A and B are shown apart, each in its own frame.
Chain A
Amino acid sequence: MTALTLSRALNEGLRKALESDPKVLILGEDVGKLGGVFRVTDGLQKDFGEARVIDTPLAESGIVGTAIGLALRGYRPVCEIQFDGFVYPAFDQIVSQLAKMRLRSLGNVSLPVVIRIPFGGGIGAVEHHSESPEALFAHTPGLRVVACGDPADAYVMVQQSIRCDDPVIFFEPKRRYWDRAEVDIAGGLAASIPLDKARTLVSGTDVTVLAYGPMVRTCAEAAVAAAADGRSLEVIDLRSLAPLDTEAIFASVRRTGRCVVVHEAAISGGIGAEIAARVTEECFYHLEAPVLRVCGYSTPYPPSRLEEHYLPDLDRVLDGVDRTFGY
């Protein structure tokens, strides 16, 4: 085991993928010499060459569109979109082309393309650098959408995503890039949790708290605080947002009878809404309270001096937990 930051863990995961499959390519803006603005691809171009770690022109549709072409030729491209708010120029290529090619070809074509997107706020950034657009992609059939929450999982999940024959939108919690934790970079992936499975981070009995990406740590911390108040939170890291691991969610909610979903993304039409609907359908007689959501507001992301009010934090999570006991 080695202590690595989340950024470094992703780097090691990408390195493993590049080493084990010559068809794996990395492309994006500034991913070469600079190593990416978050240094996730640091040193990879030096070690694997400019043909495999490609500094692209500055055009996101072009990055995804050419990645599709490379995949059609048998490659497994990993695209880096520099920031969440910059993915929209590529939206058409992702939604109309990448997601649909398999169906369009009746299964003759697979597009094993990974699109890595640093997402979420909390870093004091200017506009367009703190967004959480995951629901837009989770709503798009044909895509898999995942989010990693800590260094160990980041290392595993990025490799699993690259091996996946379906297109994967891979969200990275940018404010957690510098979180450090033990990562087993010697071990293989065989014993790892599958890419489409959730993981119980903290076991508990009173409330199921569902989170992903940057909110995983926040909710784990909330569980510690709640325990001090005598409340037992079960914190589940969803990992996969499309498809959702509904089996794990339902099993937990049936035990606890309460469910709070936490995400930074705007509450309306978000992942939490989807979960609330499904939990209501499948766990109706087990519920002691409606499914509650602790999320970003239905507003554009605010200027950074206000972001601490917009983003769910430990107190807002605990407030949500409290409210589920008010029914």
Chain B
Amino acid sequence: MAVNAKGAVAAVPDPLGLDGRAGSAVPIQLLTPEGERVEHPDYPLEVSAAEVQALYRDLVLVRRIDFEAIALQRQGELGIWASLLGQEAAQVGSARALGPGDMAFPTYREHGVAWCRGLDPVKLLELFRGVSHGGWDPKAHGLHLYTIVIGCQALHATGYAMGIQRDGAVGEDGEAAIAYFGDGATSQGDVNEAFIWASVTNAPVVFFCQNNQWAISEPLERQSRVPLYQRAYGFGFPGIRVDGNDVLACLAVTRKAMQAAREGQGPTLIEAFTYRMGAHTTTDDPTRYRLAAELESWKLKDPIERVKAYLVRSRLADMEFFERVDAEADEMGARVRKSCLEMPDPAPLAIFENVYAEPNALIDSEREQFAAYLDSFTGEEVAR
């Protein structure tokens, strides 16, 4: 990966003949894998030591949530877990670019986004434990529910953005939506329809694609013959490739795209170039389809190590800071574990709750029948 993105831009060929409009295949980078801060003329970023420390803390805590959840799955406490290992910077950087009025539409892997939107990680475990299908209030967190069917949420984000337009909430203090999805999702009709809708309506929405190179076992070349960020140009809006393992670059690029959307300049596609370091989910075995060497090469680009290196080298944080963050992670890990183990199953009759907003005779009668059936047992049998 080039260190000096500016220099690299000129050197990149233009295979589609887009006359420079297609951006650069070299990802925008503000922090090298070695932890060296570099500048980019289009993405100046002023960050204080405290802000970088806060981002580092986010990254470490989010990785810890992931680590604990994988362990809980291995112990049989969760049905499944979709690990975000390796994608912490893409998620934290982009989500920290959001304001309270913005709405994020995540997939099932956006634990880092959920963290930054203030959702208690225990809520995520509910979903993967099978206690609920999510169950949080999207409005309270500016975070829509996890969407499992690939790509559907891109249309929800676009429709939501059309609502922002109709509310007159476009302008300097405007609001915007951001849709998260992966490289595999770019093949879905819904994502392509969302691109079309967003383009022709000039909707205030940012499409944040984490290209982690793998859709379960299928490499990117099964999804696309062109770099994903270039897709945007066919739809009529800008596409940008950012180093997805660089939290500062993800922050700067998303900030700019979100502000453009809020101000009425329409959508942007951001391709965060990253790598899924773990399995697709805890049920997957990536050794069946990818080489260990690939994983090793990406380990050198770890999103957390480079921030740590930067903080240490630039003397922006001392050892006490790192110890404090580690201690907080330990504490949070313990709390997450404990909360998961103590999480009660819902009552059986909860099956009938929240199917309809309005009274529904069919649901009522089935609830009654099931309650009577449960009552036909005695004592302990139905208590759990």
Interface of A toward B, CB cutoff 8 Å:
25, 51-52, 56-57, 59, 61-62, 64-75, 89, 92-93, 96-97, 100-110, 112, 141-142, 144, 164-166, 196, 242-247
Contact indicator A67/B159 (Cβ below 8 Å): yes
With beta carbons under 8 angstroms apart, the residue of B136, B154, B160, B190 that contacts A73 is B160
Contact indicator B149/A109 (Cβ below 8 Å): no
**Nearest-CB distance from A153 to chain B (Å)?**
19
Interface of B toward A, CB cutoff 8 Å:
103, 132-140, 144-145, 147, 149, 152, 154-167, 177, 189-190, 193-194, 196-197, 200, 353-358, 360-363
Cα distance, A52 to B167, chains bound together (Å): 12
Contact indicator A102/B197 (Cβ below 8 Å): no
| 9 A–B contacts from the bound complex (CB under 8 Å) | A93-B190, A97-B152, A97-B156, A104-B134, A105-B136, A106-B134, A107-B353, A166-B356, A247-B361
**The 7 residue pairs across chains A and B that have the minimum distance between CB atoms:** A69-B159, A65-B155, A73-B163, A66-B159, A165-B357, A62-B193, A243-B362
Q: Which residues of B contact A103 (CB under 8 A)?
A: 133, 353-355
With beta carbons under 8 angstroms apart, the residue of A51, A66, A102 that contacts B355 is A102
* Extra contacts besides A66-B155, A105-B134 (20): CB < 8 Å: A52-B166, A59-B193, A65-B152, A65-B156, A66-B158, A69-B177, A72-B138, A72-B159, A73-B164, A75-B166, A102-B354, A103-B355, A105-B137, A106-B353, A108-B137, A108-B138, A144-B356, A166-B356, A243-B360, A247-B361
Residue of A nearest to B356 (CB): A166
Number of A-B contacts (CB under 8 A): 152
Contact indicator A142/B356 (Cβ below 8 Å): yes
Q: Which residues of B contact A59 (CB under 8 A)?
A: 189, 193, 196
Contact indicator A57/B152 (Cβ below 8 Å): no
**Nearest-CB distance from B179 to chain A (Å)?**
10
Contact indicator A69/B353 (Cβ below 8 Å): no
Contact indicator B162/A66 (Cβ below 8 Å): yes
Q: Which residues of A contact B160 (CB under 8 A)?
A: 69-70, 72-73
Q: Which residues of B contact A247 (CB under 8 A)?
A: 361
Contact indicator A69/B145 (Cβ below 8 Å): no
Q: Which residues of B contact A245 (CB under 8 A)?
A: 361
Contact indicator A72/B156 (Cβ below 8 Å): yes
Q: Which residues of B contact A89 (CB under 8 A)?
A: 189
Q: A69-B159, A72-B160, A97-B156 are in contact. Are A105 and B145 (CB under 8 A)?
A: yes
**Nearest-CB distance from A75 to chain B (Å)?**
6
Contact indicator B193/A242 (Cβ below 8 Å): no
Q: Which residues of A contact B360 (CB under 8 A)?
A: 196, 243
Name, among A61, A110, A112, A144, the residue most crowded by chain B CB atoms within 10 Å (CB to CB): A61
Contact indicator A107/B354 (Cβ below 8 Å): yes
Contact indicator A69/B156 (Cβ below 8 Å): yes
Q: Which residues of A contact B147 (CB under 8 A)?
A: 97
Cα distance, A52 to B162, chains bound together (Å): 11
Q: Which residues of A contact B355 (CB under 8 A)?
A: 102-103, 141-142
Contact indicator A196/B361 (Cβ below 8 Å): yes
Name, among B133, B137, B190, B356, the residue most crowded by chain A CB atoms within 10 Å (CB to CB): B356
With beta carbons under 8 angstroms apart, the residue of B165, B177, B356 that contacts A102 is B356
Q: A62-B193, A102-B357, A243-B360 are in contact. Are A70 and B162 (CB under 8 A)?
A: yes
Contact indicator B361/A243 (Cβ below 8 Å): yes
Contact indicator A244/B190 (Cβ below 8 Å): no
Q: Which residues of B contact A75 (CB under 8 A)?
A: 163, 166
With beta carbons under 8 angstroms apart, the residue of A62, A110, A112, A242 that contacts B197 is A62
Cα distance, A147 to B41, chains bound together (Å): 60
Contact indicator A65/B190 (Cβ below 8 Å): yes
Q: Which residues of A contact B163 (CB under 8 A)?
A: 69-70, 72-75
With beta carbons under 8 angstroms apart, the residue of B149, B197, B362 that contacts A97 is B149
Cα distance, A89 to B192, chains bound together (Å): 13
Residue of B nearest to A163 (CB): B358
With beta carbons under 8 angstroms apart, the residue of B159, B164, B200, B356 that contacts A68 is B159
Name, among A59, A64, A69, A164, the residue most crowded by chain B CB atoms within 10 Å (CB to CB): A69
Q: Which residues of A contact B164 (CB under 8 A)?
A: 73
Q: Which residues of A contact B357 (CB under 8 A)?
A: 102, 107, 110, 112, 165-166
Contact indicator A57/B197 (Cβ below 8 Å): yes
Q: Which residues of A contact B158 (CB under 8 A)?
A: 65-66, 69
Q: Which residues of B contact A141 (CB under 8 A)?
A: 355
With beta carbons under 8 angstroms apart, the residue of B152, B161, B358 that contacts A92 is B152
Cα distance, A144 to B357, chains bound together (Å): 11
Cα distance, A93 to B194, chains bound together (Å): 13
Name, among A59, A66, A89, A166, the residue most crowded by chain B CB atoms within 10 Å (CB to CB): A66
Q: Which residues of B contact A108 (CB under 8 A)?
A: 135-140
Name, among B134, B140, B155, the residue most crowded by chain A CB atoms within 10 Å (CB to CB): B155
**Nearest-CB distance from A60 to chain B (Å)?**
9
Name, among A106, A109, A166, the residue most crowded by chain B CB atoms within 10 Å (CB to CB): A106
Contact indicator A109/B197 (Cβ below 8 Å): no
Cα distance, A61 to B197, chains bound together (Å): 11
Contact indicator B135/A68 (Cβ below 8 Å): no
Contact indicator B358/A166 (Cβ below 8 Å): yes
Q: A51-B166, A62-B196, A196-B361 are in contact. Are A104 and B135 (CB under 8 A)?
A: yes
Q: Which residues of B contact A166 (CB under 8 A)?
A: 356-358
Q: Which residues of B contact A74 (CB under 8 A)?
A: 163, 167
Cα distance, A67 to B103, chains bound together (Å): 16
Contact indicator A70/B159 (Cβ below 8 Å): yes
Contact indicator B155/A61 (Cβ below 8 Å): yes
Residue of A nearest to B132 (CB): A106
Cα distance, A250 to B154, chains bound together (Å): 45
Q: Which residues of A contact B358 (CB under 8 A)?
A: 164-166
Residue of A nearest to B133 (CB): A104
Q: Which residues of A contact B132 (CB under 8 A)?
A: 106
Contact indicator B133/A65 (Cβ below 8 Å): no
**Nearest-CB distance from B264 to chain A (Å)?**
14
**Nearest-CB distance from B150 to chain A (Å)?**
10
Residue of A nearest to B360 (CB): A243
With beta carbons under 8 angstroms apart, the residue of A57, A67, A243 that contacts B193 is A57
Q: Which residues of A contact B166 (CB under 8 A)?
A: 25, 51-52, 70, 73, 75
Contact indicator B135/A69 (Cβ below 8 Å): no
Contact indicator B138/A105 (Cβ below 8 Å): yes
Contact indicator B354/A65 (Cβ below 8 Å): no
**Nearest-CB distance from A286 to chain B (Å)?**
19
Residue of A nearest to B357 (CB): A165
